[in-house]
Amino acid sequence: MIGNTWEFRQDRLSLFSRTFEDCGDLGVYRIAGDDFHLANSVELVHEVLIRKGRLFEKTDRFRAFARPLLGDGLLTATDEDHKHNRRIIQPRFHNAAVKPSADIAARVTGTVSGRWADGEVVDVRREMVRLILGVVGQNLFSRDILDDADELGNALTDAIHGFDSMASALVPLGITWPTPANLRYRRAIERLERTFYSLLADRRSLDRRPDDWLNLLMETRREDGSPFSDKQIRDEALNMFMPGHETTATGLAWSLHLLAEHPEVYERLLDEVDGALGGRPPTLDDLPRLPYALQVFKETMRLYPPVYMFTRQATEDVDILGHRLPAGTTVVFSPYTLHRRADYFPDPGRFDPDRFSPEREARIPRHAYLPFGAGHRVCIGNHHALLNGHMVLATLAQRVRLHSVPGPAPVKEPMVTLRPKGGVPMRVERRGFPGPAAVRADEAPAHLARPGGTAGSSSCPLGHG
Ligand code: HEM
């Protein structure tokens, strides 16, 4: 029964790495009596997520904790519903369609960093969550939820905490169990729904609606011509909000930490930004001239992938590269472990943004870099996340330099995302950016253009190792 339960609870990243070392590409660990198959090769990614992707679904466990909040939106939807809704929502998230978000990201970054005083110590993890909340709040609702008094922002934050504790539980109890955590989660969801539906009603009463993601969902037509119901709008809106902000914020917090720990990388980034912008705040058009900022963000997500694990469940008996997986088998992907394979990324522990220079990035084996998943359920917000991460790092580099403070380095805490435990305190050095100290987020145009065994020994029942 116990298997690797304790080890998973204590240090799941090491459990994944050891399972790979002991078993090879496909290994097994056991939690509370259930087997989990860790798939850790590009071939297995291709086979399970792409070639035989339709034979694998999200797991019952994932749905149990995610559905109360995310409903039947893209993350949790099954088969046909997923196929249909993804087809109609996807075009709104193509590379070109998300571009207007870049200028919003620049403005909100200006606002948040404008509040930091020279010499002040700030928790950059908290600040990045705030910042990305601000960006996604504008994208989705045209609303400044940076303001602590904002009811919607607060309701969302409470719901996120509930989601996080359910998702992180070793053996999650269904939401109907009246545990204190469940009751809190339920109350948070009820409050969020009240706030959301009243926002929706306000929107309907407007003659001219802002051109944001909410409006896009309100105008979306199903393939039979019918509009989304209010419940569907709620579900899809939360599916854009929830996975979108915590992940990007976590990636950014680790980026800032890594930059401070690697002064030569930081200097190069600052030189790039100063050279390309000459004191102007960056805009979307500047980003192609700031490639290193994006490389930093990508390399950070290799070492610290915000979504460090995700799972699938076989819907029928299936053969995978010579292994028979019975229906119901859970397959685990750990981008964290995959990204640290030395045959895919030589000297894998080294922070080296040049791995993502155009020439070298082209040589990375296909599917070895998996921060956004792969196949028909690949992250729909991947362009948006990269664009925002790129813009935030460039804007921050122009305005401030952040320094690590004395004390222990941040520790990885694998919860829903791979976050730095207890935050990342950093000292602010203002860089004398000549522009306005702070641009208020609510000065942002309220619209978006819309183009289209036993603990300690992992078993290897598959006979590897
Ligand atoms: C650095 C930021 C992000 C990371 C690392 C990330 C990672 C991921 C991963 C790994 C998946 C696939 C999970 C699986 O296959 O089980 C996923 C799915 C998803 N992500 Fe993201 N994500 C990020 C940002 C965003 C943003 C900004 C949005 C919204 C605008 C978003 C919306 C979604 C949705 C809706 C899905 C479900 C897609 C589907 O099943 O069709 N994500 N994300």
What is the gyration radius of the CA atoms in the chain, in angstroms?
22
CATH T-level topology, domain 84-307+339-443? Cytochrome p450 (1.10.630)
Q: Say how far apart CA 259 and CA 253 lie, in whole Å.
A: 10
List the 400-404 sheet strands across, edge first.
121-123, 425-430, 400-404
pLDDT tens for each residue of 80-119: 889 999 998 988 888 777 888 999 999 999 999 999 999 9
CATH 3.30.43.20 residue ranges in the chain?
Answer: 1-72+308-338
Going from the Cα of 372 to the center of ligand 1, the distance in angstroms, rounded, reads 6
Nearest CA to ligand 1 atom 20: 379
pLDDT tens for each residue of 144-188: 776 655 677 677 777 877 777 777 666 666 777 888 778 888 888
Q: Which one-letter DSSP state was computed for residue 173?
A: P
Band of residue 453 on the pLDDT scale cut at 50, 70, 90:
very low
Q: Are strands 330-333 and 34-39 parallel, antiparallel or unpaired?
A: parallel
Specify the pTM. 0.91
**C-alpha pair distances (Å), 377 with each of 243, 258, 382:** 13, 30, 11
* CB distance 53 to ligand 1 below 6 Å: no
Q: What dihedral angle (degrees, nearest 10) is formed by the CA atoms of 406, 434, 295, 307? A: 60
- Ligand 1: residue of 135, 254, 311, 379 to mutate (most ligand atoms within 8 A of CB) is 379
Note the Cα 369 to chain centre separation in Å.
Answer: 15
Q: What dihedral angle (degrees, nearest 10) is formed by the CA atoms of 196, 198, 200, 205? A: -160
Band of residue 332 on the pLDDT scale cut at 50, 70, 90:
very high
Counting from 1 in the atom list of ligand 1, the atom nearest the Cα of 139 is: 30
How many other CB atoms are there within 10 angstroms of residue 266's CB atom? Answer: 19
CATH dotted code for 1-72+308-338: 3.30.43.20
Residues 6+ apart with CB under 8 A from 411: 420, 421, 422
* CB distance 74 to ligand 1 below 6 Å: yes
Cα atoms in the 13 Å half-sphere on the side-chain side of 176 = 1
Q: Say how far apart CA 133 and CA 128 lie, in whole Å.
A: 8
CATH 1.10.630.10 residue ranges in the chain?
Answer: 84-307+339-443
Q: What pLDDT is attached to residue 259?
A: 98
pLDDT surpasses 70 at 462: no
Residues in the chain, how many? 465
Q: Is pLDDT larger for residue 208 or for residue 2?
A: 208
Q: Which helix (H) or strand (E) holds 241?
A: helix 230-261
Burial of 325-360, coded b for 16+ CB within 10 Å and e otherwise, reads beeebbbbbbbbbbbbbeebbeeeeebbbebbeeee
Mean pLDDT along residues 448-460: 33
pLDDT tens for each residue of 13-26: 999 999 999 999 99
